[in-house]
Structure 1
Amino acid sequence: MTRQLDAQSLLELAQAAEARIVPDCSCTKASLEGWQSQPLSLDETRLVQVGTLLNPELAEPTYSEYLPEGTNYWSAEAPVAPYFFPYNRCDVWQCSACNRLYLRYTEGGGYFVDRRIRALHARLITDVSE
């Protein structure tokens, strides 16, 4: 069973992971500071799911975004707001080699599916709700 995370437990998980990061891992070959299409160079076999932000009690999570201070969806400094899109559809993954955390979800459009990924940093996590 996947661990359900809220903003506080996500923050605690991120802080613990950041305290144990091992530098110079191959998972950092591509910059994943803001949302990106998952690069082919990322070795998925090293990623282990450690939690989810998807609330199973919600029939349809909101598509509202939380983007203050001129940030946008692609911004590396955009806050990670677990109750807002796209974070409310994310699973949390950890690199087994270096302990870095990543958020991942699948963006679906009319004619495409795009697996998106973003590095998770504790300093960006914010506990705001709708």
Structure 2
Amino acid sequence: MAQYLNAEMLVELARAAEARTIGPCACMKTPLDGWQSQPLSLDETQFEEIGTLLPQDYVEPTFSEYLPDKTSYWSADAPIAPRYFPYNRCAVWKCVLCGRLYLHYTEGGGYFVDRRIRAVKADLIEDVPLLP
């Protein structure tokens, strides 16, 4: 099972990745600043899973979303709140070519499955407690 990463650990990894990544990479062909359906052109062999935001001590993580200031799920500036949906179901991927970090999860609906991906930006990560 992948290593659980809390918000503090994710911020540290994101800052380190941002400090060492320079220039374009094939992982950047499609803008992934906000959630996107995983592009068919994205080569998954270019990534390695380095952790998970799925808490190990919960049977079923919350489906509540954290979207302050009129942000939406799809917004590039929406906060990355690891305790909230969909982040609490994400794997953390690292591009093996450039070191950039991405969040990845599979959205399942009644008649579809959609693999989604979003770039990790350290400044967007917020450690917000769950509301009761």
TM-score by length of 2: 0.96
SS in 2 for 1:9: helix
Q: How does 1:79-90 map to 2 (within 5 A)?
A: 79-90=79-90
How many angstroms does 1:44 deviate by? 0.8
Shift of 1:2: 1.5
How many angstroms does 1:51 deviate by?
0.7
What are the residue-to-residue correspondences of 1:4-15 with 2, within 5 Å? 4-15=4-15
Alignment of 1:7-26 (within 5 A): 7-26=7-26
The answer for the alignment partner of 1:30 in structure 2 is: 30
Letter in 2 for 1:47: F
* 1:22 Cα offset (Å): 3.2
Count residues with an aligned counterpart: 130
Identity score, percent: 64
State the match for 1:57 in structure 2: 57
What aligned pairs does 1:69-88 form with structure 2 within 5 A after superposition? 69-88=69-88
Displaced runs of 4+ in structure 1, greater than 4 A? none
Structure 2's unaligned 5+ residue stretches are: none
Cα pair 1:30 1:39 within 8 Å, conserved: yes
Cα RMSD between the aligned structures?
Answer: 0.7
1:99 aligns with 2:102: no
CA deviations 1:61-113 (Å, max 9, x no partner) are 00000000010100000000000000000000000001110000000001000
| Residues in 2 aligned to 1:13 and 1:24: alpha-carbon distance in whole angstroms | 20
List gaps (5 residues or longer) in structure 1.
none
Q: 1:81 and 1:50 mapped to 2: Cα distance?
A: 18
